């Protein structure tokens, strides 16, 4: 008896990998730590926790970037102090733009502090720090040009869920970065402009301990406050905690920062500062932090007026003991920026300043490309594995960094209007995402290795006026709608050099594979039925001999039941819970209280008897969490029965058709995430049958009524009555009896009577479509007179790019469109004609076919 996890198994990878893809859709992607932080030590080789006070864990950058290389700074610049973050960096010798993609859980339209750190440290031994630009999404942030350890910081509100930090090579050296940090601020109102973003100039803790900084965890948002003691100002401090319960204190400046301050020498003197901006246009915003930290002896409160640049901004503030007040200035500009804090006449106390932040405004003139276009072009890039240096970040914006081969309209937002991918080594079908570039005018896919048919949906691009598909390997006929556009002279189309493309009019009709259902009644299968009968007898004899010689019997592993016992546990066959081809299924209870399902073979079913035996055999050796387990077995020849684990929630079909009574825990409609989980469970069960069992087992009758759900809604595959172990080292198996259920049968099996793993994969694809649409595989018209196969109905809709229309209406739109697309794609590839499956897959199937036609290995089949 061989049953081992075969390592070099048949490439069921398609299904297994796709099942994993499903799982990853359900789970979130990169997980920032609990505080809403993403902390990346660029170029580091290991994740580590910073033990110098912050306790922040820094991740390596690989999952955030595709390009660049890890480098170490020169050992001359490595000091013992807190410089772990700066010891290594990532540099980008290739490509104009290199992107870090950050996906914070909080998503778009939230305020984020984003800080990038740069420490050149002569890592390239050129002793010449480069100069390069930094972009935030599609807009300019700053230029980095320093050989010192510096950081750049902004407060930014993204328009999209992911944030891209881009390093742009401007021709003045190789860009690099040492660290990248993102912190989500939990209050959205703060640090938010009506338009634009805030670029930090300085953040100062006035009056603090000299030469010290304060950051996380003292500052919940990990702002870094550096002590600044202005000469001539008085230093004040208190040990009392400031009142953080104050409703106005959304800024959460740390008490430790606010407890120290500077004031002027007396009430008649103001606090005054001025500085020169780098340009006259630069707009400055200053955040002033005030708290009264002195218990004033006089009855007068401290009151003062904050003003900037000749009253471009002015505000009077009255302080209460230990209550923080934050004053945010208007944007001010000028050849000199000034502020003064001056006591009012009634105050009698000098003005103070506890902390201050200076920002300039960054502008967001560039609007990103329309999101539908971005999604479509990224799908095209992924499908065809396009690797071009410029194909990173936004496709159209900034204009001078647009992807090569693309032209864009310069609207708001910009759209993709032309795509030139001639001679780009594209392989496979013409991907449907091309039809989602809805403003496209010019499409050149000439001189590639494209196969398959020309999708009709291309004709739905309203502005398309040029289409060059010449020099490919396309097949089928030219869609009528495209021909019509050419006749109408609204489209110039070139198709030369596609030898298998029918350009005649009309074309010889090509037979359709997927949609038409023919009942499987052929004389070939009749012949095999007889053959099987004979072989089964040989097998039974062989089995008996083996059992005798080895002293093992079927019952050795599972507890044998006597007929009387079976009768007792089912309460004299009292409650029928199901009825299959073999006979009835009864509910039973074992002596220990475990509920079981007892399948009893009806005596009338003669052929079924062998099937029943086969099922017992198989279930004996097959154990997997996604396969219904066999608990026991009654071998009395007159009363054969199988005792299975009881699956409390019935079968999947019942749930999809809404024939299940809702309970408190399980509402009437299966949610989308439950459906995904069921799909993954079924895929794992099937993968085990195909790849975990040796020889592999082909189920042959996979369908939604054979997928059972336990009380926790875990899905398990049932009913191996029609299963057969396929031959070792061979993927196909010629059918010996009529098996399977209409609607789930692979057209290949129907026409040739050939069974291989792919016929199960096909059935699995149909099950996925049932999960998506809620509809049965054979759909009946209202009156029940006409019927249609599910693929015939949905393929045209899917190809039109509108999957909303096929989704189960009972989901009421509650599903994730991306994962829905993913499942549709998986289901499509499972049900596609063999010729369109991936090459390695096809190769194995064709090999299997060829072998099965010559060497039908029946005898090998049952020599477990
Ligand atoms: C840069 O490009 C060169 C040549 O294409 C390649 O050999 C090298 O590995 C690339 N370096 C990085 C860091 O991508
Ligand atoms: C973004 O968030 C702000 C504040 O929470 C809210 O007022 C605004 O309506 C949001 N804008 C969008 C487009 O969701
Ligand atoms: C970078 O800074 C140095 C010194 O401040 C300056 O000489 C150089 O021109 C700058 N480079 C660029 C490209 O701005
Ligand atoms: C602070 O740093 C400056 C410059 O490094 C140094 O001159 C000064 O002595 C330091 N002050 C204290 C109190 O450490
Ligand atoms: C607080 O003030 C006292 C006296 O003014 C001074 O001795 C002490 O060093 C100050 N503490 C801090 C943290 O500045
Ligand atoms: C401020 O000036 C006024 C008049 O010039 C004077 O009366 C007052 O004593 C001064 N106050 C202080 C605290 O020096
Ligand atoms: C404050 O007092 C000064 C002189 O004492 C006077 O010139 C000024 O007008 C007063 N300001 C206000 C706002 O009352
Ligand atoms: C289509 O592409 C082929 C190959 O790139 C080229 O030779 C041909 O001129 C193009 N046709 C048109 C109409 O531009
Ligand atoms: C097709 O090509 C011809 C000749 O180059 C040109 O005159 C015509 O305008 C083109 N048609 C369209 C729809 O672009």
Catalytic residues: 701
Lowest-pLDDT choice from 136-150, 360-374, 689-703, 717-731: 717-731
CA nearest neighbour of 159 among 102, 100, 107: 107
**What percent of the chain is modeled with pLDDT above 70?**
77
- CA pair distance 585, 675, nearest whole angstrom: 26
Q: Does residue 463 register a pLDDT over 90?
A: yes
In this prediction, residues 178-201 reach a mean pLDDT of: 92
Token code pair at residue 21: 């893809």
User: Among the residues of 1-83, which ranges form H helices?
Assistant: 13-26
Domain map of the chain by residue range?
37-192, 203-362, 371-502, 541-646, 650-864
419, 423, 429, 435: CA torsion to nearest 10: 10
- What's the confidence (pLDDT) of residue 85? 81
- What's the confidence (pLDDT) of residue 20? 39
Token code pair at residue 435: 């039809």
Q: Which fold has domain 203-362?
A: Jelly Rolls (2.60.120)
Helices (H) and strands (E) in the chain, counts: 16, 49
- What's the confidence (pLDDT) of residue 733? 43
Give whole-number Cα distances, 85 to 57, 65, 293, 817, in Å.
11, 18, 36, 39
- What's the confidence (pLDDT) of residue 457? 92
Is residue 83 within 8 A of residue 110, CB to CB? The reply is: no
Q: Does residue 727 register a pLDDT over 50?
A: no
Q: Does residue 522 register a pLDDT over 70?
A: no
Residue 242 DSSP label: P
Lowest-pLDDT choice from 123-127, 150-154, 550-554: 550-554
Which ligand does the CA of 269 lie closest to? 6
CA nearest neighbour of 101 among 44, 160, 22: 160
Q: Which atom of ligand 3 is nearest to the CA of 170?
A: 13
Centroid of ligand 2 to alpha carbon of 192 (angstroms): 11
- CA pair distance 136, 368, nearest whole angstrom: 11
CA nearest neighbour of 654 among 580, 706, 712, 700: 706
In this prediction, residues 678-691 reach a mean pLDDT of: 85
- CA pair distance 89, 71, nearest whole angstrom: 5
Q: Does residue 816 register a pLDDT over 90?
A: no
In short, whether 211's Cβ falls inside 6 Å of ligand 4 is yes
- What's the confidence (pLDDT) of residue 6? 27
Closest residue by Cα to atom 8, ligand 2, is 109
In short, whether 67's Cβ falls inside 6 Å of ligand 1 is yes
Q: Does domain 541-646 have CATH number 3.30.390.10?
A: no
Q: Does residue 337 register a pLDDT over 70?
A: yes
Which ligand does the CA of 189 lie closest to? 2
Who wins on pLDDT, 639 or 754? 639
Q: Do domains 37-192 and 203-362 have the same CATH topology?
A: yes
pLDDT in tens, 762-791: 888 899 998 999 888 888 876 667 788 888
- CA pair distance 293, 302, nearest whole angstrom: 11
Centroid of ligand 4 to alpha carbon of 212 (angstroms): 10
Q: What is the CATH number of domain 371-502?
A: 3.80.10.10
Helix, strand, or coil (residue 725): strand
Centroid of ligand 9 to alpha carbon of 486 (angstroms): 10
Return all residues near 180 (Cβ < 8 A) that are at least 6 apart: 38, 40, 42, 61, 64, 100, 102, 114, 115, 116, 117, 165
Is residue 542 within 8 A of residue 822, CB to CB? The reply is: no
Mutate to test the pocket of ligand 6, among 234, 265, 268, 298 (most ligand atoms within 8 A of CB): 268
- CA pair distance 341, 761, nearest whole angstrom: 76
- What's the confidence (pLDDT) of residue 783? 66
Is residue 765 within 8 A of residue 15, CB to CB? The reply is: no
Q: Which atom of ligand 6 is nearest to the CA of 268?
A: 1
In short, whether 471's Cβ falls inside 6 Å of ligand 8 is yes
Who wins on pLDDT, 369 or 649? 369
- What's the confidence (pLDDT) of residue 749? 63
φ, ψ of residue 588 in degrees (nearest 5) = -140, 165
pLDDT band, very low/low/confident/very high, at 276 (cuts 50, 70, 90): very high
Centroid of ligand 7 to alpha carbon of 314 (angstroms): 17
- What's the confidence (pLDDT) of residue 813? 85
In short, whether 172's Cβ falls inside 6 Å of ligand 3 is yes
The mean of the pLDDT values for the chain is 80
pLDDT band, very low/low/confident/very high, at 608 (cuts 50, 70, 90): low
Element (H, E) at 268: none
Who wins on pLDDT, 32 or 222? 222
Q: Does residue 540 register a pLDDT over 60?
A: no
Q: What is the CATH number of domain 650-864?
A: 1.10.510.10
- What's the confidence (pLDDT) of residue 153? 98
pLDDT band, very low/low/confident/very high, at 302 (cuts 50, 70, 90): very high
- CA pair distance 676, 688, nearest whole angstrom: 18
- What's the confidence (pLDDT) of residue 750? 62
pLDDT band, very low/low/confident/very high, at 287 (cuts 50, 70, 90): very high
Who wins on pLDDT, 55 or 91? 91
Q: Which atom of ligand 6 is nearest to the CA of 267?
A: 13
Architecture of domain 37-192: Sandwich (2.60)
Lowest-pLDDT choice from 296-300, 491-495, 746-750, 858-862: 858-862
Closest residue by Cα to atom 5, ligand 4, is 211
Centroid of ligand 7 to alpha carbon of 346 (angstroms): 9
Q: Does residue 160 register a pLDDT over 70?
A: yes
Residue 656 DSSP label: H
Calculate ∠ Cα 579-584-590, nearest 5°.
120
**What percent of the chain is modeled with pLDDT above 90?**
44
pLDDT band, very low/low/confident/very high, at 667 (cuts 50, 70, 90): low
pLDDT in tens, 319-336: 999 999 999 999 999 999
Is residue 698 within 8 A of residue 728, CB to CB? The reply is: no
Is the pTM higher than 0.95? no
């Amino acid at each position: 008896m061989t049953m081992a996890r075969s390592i070099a198994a048949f490439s069921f990878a398609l299904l297994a990998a796709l099942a994993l893809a499903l799982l990853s859709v359900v789970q979130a992607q990169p997980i920032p730590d609990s505080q809403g932080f993403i902390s990346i030590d660029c170029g580091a080789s290991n994740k580590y926790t910073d033990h110098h006070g912050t306790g922040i864990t820094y991740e390596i950058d690989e999952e955030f970037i595709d390009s660049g290389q890890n480098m170490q700074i020169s050992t001359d610049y490595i000091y013992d102090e807190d410089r772990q973050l700066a010891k290594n960096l990532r540099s980008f010798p290739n490509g104009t733009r290199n992107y870090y993609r950050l996906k914070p859980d909080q998503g778009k339209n939230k305020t984020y502090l984003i800080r990038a750190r740069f420490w050149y440290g002569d890592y390239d031994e050129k002793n010449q720090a480069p100069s390069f630009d930094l972009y935030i999404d599609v807009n300019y942030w700053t230029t980095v040009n320093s050989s010192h350890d510096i950081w750049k910081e902004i407060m930014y509100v993204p328009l999209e869920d992911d944030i891209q930090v881009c390093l742009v090579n401007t021709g003045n050296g190789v860009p690099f970065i040492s660290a990248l940090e993102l912190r989500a601020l939990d209050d959205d109102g703060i640090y938010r402009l009506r338009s634009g973003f805030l670029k930090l100039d300085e953040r100062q803790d006035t009056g603090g301990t000299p030469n010290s900084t304060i950051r996380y965890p003292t500052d919940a948002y990990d702002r870094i406050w550096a002590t600044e003691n202005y000469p001539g100002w008085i230093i004040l401090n208190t040990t009392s905690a400031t009142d953080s319960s104050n409703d106005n204190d959304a800024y959460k400046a740390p008490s430790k920062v606010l407890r120290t301050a500077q004031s002027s020498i007396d009430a008649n003197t103001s606090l005054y500062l001025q500085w020169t901006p780098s340009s006259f246009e630069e707009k400055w915003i200053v955040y002033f932090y005030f708290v009264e930290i002195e218990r004033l002896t006089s009855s007068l409160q401290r009151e003062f007026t904050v003003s900037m640049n000749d009253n471009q901004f002015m505000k009077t503030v009255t302080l209460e003991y230990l209550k923080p007040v934050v004053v945010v200035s208007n944007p001010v500009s000028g050849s000199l920026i000034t502020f003064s804090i001056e006591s009012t006449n009634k105050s009698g106390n000098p003005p103070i300043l506890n902390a201050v932040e200076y920002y300039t405004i960054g502008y967001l003139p560039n609007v990103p490309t329309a999101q539908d276009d971005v999604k479509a072009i990224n799908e095209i890039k992924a499908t065809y594995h396009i690797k071009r240096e410029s194909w990173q970040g936004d496709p159209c914006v900034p204009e001078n960094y647009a992807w090569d081969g693309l032209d864009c309209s310069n609207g708001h937002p910009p759209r993709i209007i032309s795509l030139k991918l001639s001679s780009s080594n594209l392989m496979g079908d013409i991907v449907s995402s091309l039809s989602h570039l809805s403003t496209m005018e010019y499409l050149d896919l000439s001189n590639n290795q494209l196969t398959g048919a020309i999708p009709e949906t291309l004709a739905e691009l309203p502005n398309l006026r040029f289409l060059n598909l010449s020099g490919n390997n396309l097949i089928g006929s030219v869609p009528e709608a495209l021909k019509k556009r050419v006749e109408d002279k609204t489209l110039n189309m070139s198709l030369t050099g596609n030898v298998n493309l029918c350009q005649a009019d009309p074309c010889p009709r090509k037979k359709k594979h997927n949609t038409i259902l023919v009942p499987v009644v052929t004389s070939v299968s009749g012949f095999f039925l007889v053959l099987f009968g004979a072989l089964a007898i040989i097998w039974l004899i062989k089995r008996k001999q083996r059992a005798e010689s080895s002293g093992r019997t079927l019952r050795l592993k599972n507890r044998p039941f006597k007929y009387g016992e079976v009768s007792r546990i089912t309460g004299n066959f009292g409650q029928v819970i199901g009825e299959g081809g073999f006979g009835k299924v009864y509910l039973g209870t074992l002596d220990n209280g475990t509920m079981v399902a007892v399948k009893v073979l009806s005596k009338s079913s003669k052929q079924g008897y062998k099937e029943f035996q086969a099922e017992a055999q198989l279930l004996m050796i097959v154990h997997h969490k996604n396969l219904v387990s066999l608990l026991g077995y009654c071998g009395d020849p007159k009363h054969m029965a199988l005792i299975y684990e009881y699956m409390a929630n019935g079968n999947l079909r019942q749930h999809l058709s809404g024939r299940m009574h809702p309970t408190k825990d399980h509402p009437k409609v299966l949610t989308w995430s439950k459906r995904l989980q069921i799909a993954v469970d079924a895929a794992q069960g099937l993968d085990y049958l195909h790849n975990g069992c040796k020889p592999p087992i082909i189920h042959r009758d996979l369908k939604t009524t054979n997928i059972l759900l336990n009380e926790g809604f875990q899905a398990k595959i049932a009913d191996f009555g029609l299963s057969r172990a396929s031959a070792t080292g061979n993927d196909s198996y010629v059918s010996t009896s009529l098996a399977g259920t209409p609607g789930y049968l692979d057209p290949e099996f129907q026409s040739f009577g050939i069974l291989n793993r792919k016929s199960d994969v096909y059935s699995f694809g149909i099950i996925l479509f049932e999960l998506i649409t809620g509809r049965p595989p054979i759909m009946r018209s209202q009156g029940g007179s006409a019927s249609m196969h599910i693929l015939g109905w949905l393929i045209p809709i899917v190809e039109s790019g509108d999957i909303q229309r096929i989704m189960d209406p009972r989901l009421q739109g509650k599903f994730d469109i991306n994962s829905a697309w993913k499942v549709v794609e998986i289901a499509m590839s499972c049900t596609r004609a063999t010729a369109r499956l991936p090459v390695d897959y096809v190769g194995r199937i064709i090999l299997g076919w060829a072998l099965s036609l010559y060497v039908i290995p029946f005898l090998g089949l049952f020599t477990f």
